[in-house]
Structure 1
């Protein structure tokens, strides 16, 4: 999945995997649950974020992205698929994708 990069390509420079929100399709149409959370060795570290859609583009500017850096998407106007069963409240509170 091109949305997930390892620590060598993490744009934050930190030593952990990173999920680009502008490339993430939340595995809609691919898996029953997000593959990133299934594969992550640390329970609860993958959390829901706001969907990368036109309604939420302002959320992804400034402090909600890495030090205000721009995204690497070809078109910032692109809308990424989102899971309709995840509430906006869960996204805003950064609820873990997989609860134990």
Structure 2
């Protein structure tokens, strides 16, 4: 199942820089591992914002939920999820 996910990150201004840097480092490592595994298919930064748009390819909504809630920055995110399905006018034979 494909999902379009927008993540807006809002770290508290009072968070110590060292703590924020460690959270970001751990987040990056997990995001890159999930991309290597094919679960996090695309990741784009939204210019001028601490936000991204991503495409996830997972087996279920439950798997997506577990994956998103496992992100180190999850407690500081506002997340919007949109399930995707093939458009009848698409010229592509598959979702790869």
Tell me which protein shows more helix as a share of its residues.
2
Q: Which structure is higher in RCO with an 8 Å CA cutoff and minimum separation 6?
A: 2
TM-score for both structures, normalised by structure 1:
0.32
| Larger CA Rg, structure 1 vs 2 | 2
TM-score for both structures, normalised by structure 2:
0.33
